[in-house]
Amino acid sequence: MIRLDRVYQVALEHFNMKLAGGERGLSRGVNWVHTVETENYIRFLVGNELVVITGIHISNDEDLLRFTEKIHRAGSAGIVFNTGGPILRIPRKVLEYADRNDFPVFTLPWKVHLEEFKHSLCSMIYQAEEENESFEDAMKKAVLSPAEKESFMPVLLKEGIGTGNGC
């Protein structure tokens, strides 16, 4: 899993995604980026997804608020409104809900190709998970099999952990 603030920095730089509300929730973990267009599909979320909505099926203010509340209750990390198409702006009530519940809400310009956006962020999430697993394996080997230094020291050194700093 990767923190949402890290995902946001990449998405801001490469896709001009902007934080609109819920800033205090940026420390949430993200394990996937998923497009959800109707409330029927919310039940398939498992938690920690960054959900994208274009508004093709839901675009009025009250429905967007209800949708956001349900996405939040499903355990999602945050929601991205693809603005400039059916959704022209994020409703004030959605932003108030986001701030009140520390639930990050973002805007993404309509011109962004969503498949490229999702692919880029999911690749970053996957790479972070692989790095985390590699570090965990190295730590286990260091504790359980210290004689096998060549198998774990390169990973630990990359993280700044080595014999020169008292470890």
DSSP, res 69: H
Contacts of 75 (CB under 8 A, 6+ apart): 45, 46, 47, 48
Report whether pLDDT(19) > 70.
yes
Q: How many CA atoms lie within 13 A of 38 on its CB side?
A: 3
Strand partners, 81: 53, 107
Q: At 33, which helix (H) or strand (E)?
A: strand 32-35
Q: What's the pLDDT tens digit per position in 104-123?
A: 999 999 999 999 999 999 99
Average pLDDT over residues 61-78: 97
The per-residue pLDDT for 134 is 64
| Predicted confidence (pLDDT) at residue 159 exceeds the cutoff of 70 | no
pLDDT value of residue 163: 65
Confidence category of residue 164, pLDDT binned at 50, 70, 90: low
Q: Are 71 and 79 in contact (CB under 8 A)?
A: yes
Alpha helices in 45-113 (DSSP H): 61-73, 92-101
pLDDT tens digits along 35-64: 999 999 999 999 999 999 999 999 899 999
In this prediction, residue 59 carries a pLDDT of 81
* CA–CA distance, 116 with 22 (Å, rounded to integer): 25
pLDDT band at 157 (very low <50, low <70, confident <90, very high): confident
Measured at the alpha carbon of residue 74, what is the angle toward residues 68 and 80, in degrees to the nearest 5? 40
Mean pLDDT of the 146-166 span: 70
Contact assessment for residue 94 and residue 69, using Cβ atoms and an 8 Å cutoff = no
Higher pLDDT, 108 or 157: 108
Of 66, 108, 75, the residue nearest 89 (C-alpha): 108
- DSSP 8-state symbol, 111: T
Mean pLDDT, the chain, as a whole number?
89
What are the beta bridge partners of residue 21?
105
